[in-house]
Amino acid sequence: MNQTLVLAFNQIFGKANLKALAAPALIIMVLSMMVLPLPSFALDLFFTFNIALSVMVLLVAMYTVRPLDFSVFPTVLLVTTLLRLSLNVASTRIVLLQGHTGPDAAGKVIEAFGHFLVGGNYTVGIVVFIILTVINFVVITKGAGRIAEVGARFTLDAMPGKQMAIDADLNAGLIGEDDARKRRKEVAAEADFYGSMDGASKFVRGDAVAGILILFINVIGGLIVGVIQHDMDAALAAKTYTLLTIGDGLVAQLPALIISTAAGLVVTRVGDDDTDIGQQFIGQIFGNPAVLVLTAAILGILGIIPGMPHLVFLLLAVVVGALAYWKLQEQSEQSAAAEAEAEKKEEPKTESLEASWTDVAPVDVLGLEVGYRLIPLVDQAQDGDLLKRIRGLRKKFAQEVGFLAAPVHIRDNLELKPIGYRITMKGVEIGSGEAHSGMFLAINPGRVSGPLSGLETRDPAFNLPAVWIEPHLKDQAGMLGYTVVDPSTVVATHLNHLILSNAAELLGRQETQALLDHIAKDAPKLVEDLVPKQVSLSVVQRVLQNLLEEGVPIRDMRTIVETLAEHTTRIQDPMELTALVRIALGRAIVQQIFPGNSELQVMALEPGLERILSQALGAGGDASAIEPGLADTLLRETAASAQRQEDLGLPPVLLVPGSLRWLLSRFLRRAVPQLKVIANGEVPDSRTIKVTTIIGANK
């Protein structure tokens, strides 16, 4: 029995549970103070705790780097407001009951605020109390509440743009699923925080109004109690109860003023760097020597004007001038250190007089050339993050496509525009664009609510209309529905799009052999029996390239190798082998186009047209065998049908017999790049098909 009680006690009062019980205990204690009488010593203790708590909240707000680091602040506002009101109720009870006994009837803290801070003059006390209340209510609380309201509105309006930016980074391989999920939670938490701050600011405003009402109620109540119940002189009663009420009001309003200041600091925090408010304040106001020199000069001029307080102005001018001199010395030392470091890194250049094989540089499989103004994007010493993004997209490419692409070699090119870049594959340019360092690209996804001022351009990856904007317009662009990305993301997304589009060309003999060696670690006998016993490495490479040309990932290499091993004993043609591999991968191909178990809504050929194409392609073996008029009609109707599919939110997919699939895919791909052509045999038996459009039905 005793052991059971000990276990129950530990479960309730363990360290973890004590932390969980702290907040409910505090709330119950605060509410109890409203109804239970407190001795004067307890009032002193709670008033001192209230002041200490408000100072702690102010210091936490000062050292906060991001508003979300103090996400509990709206709740803190409610609790501290409730604590002050409870103390007001408790002190009012003891002032009215014991006020006639002397100035210390409500404790030493109230006495000190009522006598020491205002000199025992209740008229001065009333004025000081009203001034503090006006400062708190009209200036600080009203301004902080307005900022929180606007911040909440802007944050909610910017949520769609931020979510789209996260999706863009995820699709480009710059972040993983966990990072994307974390960033989405941060966006939602930021909106919740500003919404809560907007509502919590009303607590402080209500507290200020309640403080004024409590002051007048206590003064009037004290006069009634002192004169009627305790037979005090009216003047003595007015002085005694007013001083006690003033002390009570001041000791409550001082923490309220501190908490309101903390609220203003939190909601006015601007910037995403890793510095707190104090460091920002000092660095931005006292960090420019030119400003300090001009300030010292102005103070010195004012100090020598006749009739001015010379000592004060000249003394402050000397202090500011000394600070400016110290900042100039610091900047010169930093500049000298940077130059010395740069000279140390420079190596003496030697000129080779004779040509050698080292002068024959191999062509990079993938290359990125940048203008000189974009060098900071790829220089880690200058906080460039493009290299990190490129590593991330290569990893994502390997995970999604199924093989490791060649590294991207980055170099500067003075022949390019300063803000230009060029992407090459095997020494040939496959894409180019421009990126403005220090600006942001606002991409119009097609549903923005207003224009933006900036440099109009096109998104280099997907050719969407876009605008290069200054950093201060970033939040406005997100609020209008634009997808806002930085220059590194622009280049990385363009590179990722081109790598995916040219995946087939990036799969060379070396990559194919490395891929087979990787599979051989788990299934050595399967690979050994296939290459080179049954089929050559070049045939395997050609089959994999055929799959990649039509956007089919080769992650499932086990199925591909098993299918090739089954059929290469009698078939060596890469086209026929590709068709068989596609049938084996049919479930994955269909799943990629139509996720889940949804119905396959596809386009199909009219049977008569299908028969004509089978005869033409069967006779000639090439799309050039199709009669020109028929070919033009087929291209036009397919493009129109594909556009109707996209307008309905469906992927443009054409379902054809297996004998026509490869040739029609190559023929139609140039006119309709987004079209997917699949064979009947590639559709799993478990999926249902619905034909939405029949091409050639009117012919």
Tell me the per-residue pLDDT of 332-343, one tens digit each, with 9 for 90 and over. 777 777 777 766
Residues 6+ apart with CB under 8 A from 327: 286, 287, 288, 289, 292
Residue 269, token pair as written in the block: 């925090």
Of 166-170, 492-496, 610-614, the range with the lowest mean pLDDT is 166-170
Could you give the CA distance from residue 53 to residue 258 in angstroms, rounded to a whole number? 10
Could you give the CA distance from residue 439 to residue 487 in angstroms, rounded to a whole number? 7
Cβ pair 281, 157 in contact under 8 A: no
| Mean pLDDT to the nearest integer, 357-364 | 77
386: confidence class by pLDDT, cuts 50, 70, 90: confident
pLDDT value of residue 596:
81
Could you give the CA distance from residue 223 to residue 228 in angstroms, rounded to a whole number? 8
| Mean pLDDT to the nearest integer, 533-549 | 92
pLDDT value of residue 278:
66
Class of domain 361-502: alpha beta
Could you give the CA distance from residue 273 to residue 269 in angstroms, rounded to a whole number? 11
135: confidence class by pLDDT, cuts 50, 70, 90: confident
Beta-bridge partners for 468: 441, 455
Q: Has residue 223 got a pLDDT over 60?
A: yes
Q: Has residue 143 got a pLDDT over 50?
A: yes
530 Cα distance to chain centroid: 48
| Mean pLDDT to the nearest integer, 191-219 | 72
Among 246-250, 273-277, 525-529, the range with the most confident prediction by mean pLDDT is: 525-529
pLDDT value of residue 490:
93
The DSSP annotation for 143-200 comes to HHHHHHHHHHHHHHHHHHHHHHHHHHHHHTTSS-HHHHHHHHHHHHHHHHHHHHHHHH
**Amino acid in the structure at residue 97:** L
Higher pLDDT, 14 or 464: 464
- Percent of the chain past pLDDT 90, that is, above it, reads 21
Is 1.10.8.540 the CATH classification of the domain at 507-584? yes
pLDDT value of residue 342:
67
Query: To which residue do tokens 């006749």 refer?
Result: 306
Of 65-74, 365-374, 592-601, the range with the lowest mean pLDDT is 65-74
**Amino acid in the structure at residue 360:** V
pLDDT value of residue 699:
47
Long-range pairs for 591-598 at CB < 8 Å and ≥24 separation? 592/551, 592/552, 592/553, 593/651, 593/653, 593/676, 593/678, 594/651, 594/653, 594/687, 597/686, 597/687
| Mean pLDDT to the nearest integer, 10-35 | 64
Of 335-339, 340-344, 588-592, 663-667, the range with the lowest mean pLDDT is 340-344
How do residues 477-494 score in pLDDT, each as one tens digit? 988 889 999 999 999 999
**Amino acid in the structure at residue 153:** R
Among 162-171, 345-354, 449-458, the range with the most confident prediction by mean pLDDT is: 449-458
| Mean pLDDT to the nearest integer, 41-48 | 79
Nearest Cα to Cα of residue 201 among 84, 80, 88:
80
pLDDT value of residue 475:
86
How do residues 619-654 score in pLDDT, each as one tens digit? 545 666 678 888 888 889 999 999 999 888 889 999
Could you give the CA distance from residue 438 to residue 375 in angstroms, rounded to a whole number? 12
Higher pLDDT, 368 or 209: 368
Q: Has residue 345 got a pLDDT over 70?
A: no
pLDDT value of residue 17:
56
pLDDT value of residue 8:
52
Q: Has residue 348 got a pLDDT over 70?
A: no
Is 3.30.360.10 the CATH classification of the domain at 596-699? no
Q: Has residue 533 got a pLDDT over 80?
A: yes
- Percent of the chain past pLDDT 70, that is, above it, reads 83
How do residues 278-300 score in pLDDT, each as one tens digit? 676 676 777 777 877 888 888 78
Q: Has residue 577 got a pLDDT over 80?
A: yes
Tell me the C-alpha to C-alpha distance, in Å, between residue 269 and each of 69, 161, 193, 475, 639: 12, 22, 13, 15, 53
How do residues 80-111 score in pLDDT, each as one tens digit? 878 878 877 777 777 777 766 656 666 677 76
Q: Has residue 15 got a pLDDT over 60?
A: no
Higher pLDDT, 120 or 685: 685
How do residues 410-434 score in pLDDT, each as one tens digit? 988 888 999 999 999 988 999 999 9
Mean pLDDT of the chain: 80
| Mean pLDDT to the nearest integer, 230-247 | 71
Cβ pair 543, 577 in contact under 8 A: yes
Phi (first) and psi of residue 537, to 5 degrees: -65, -35
- Please, what's the b/e burial string for 414-425 (b: 16 or more CB within 10 A of its CB; e: otherwise)? eebeebbbbbbb
pLDDT value of residue 621:
56
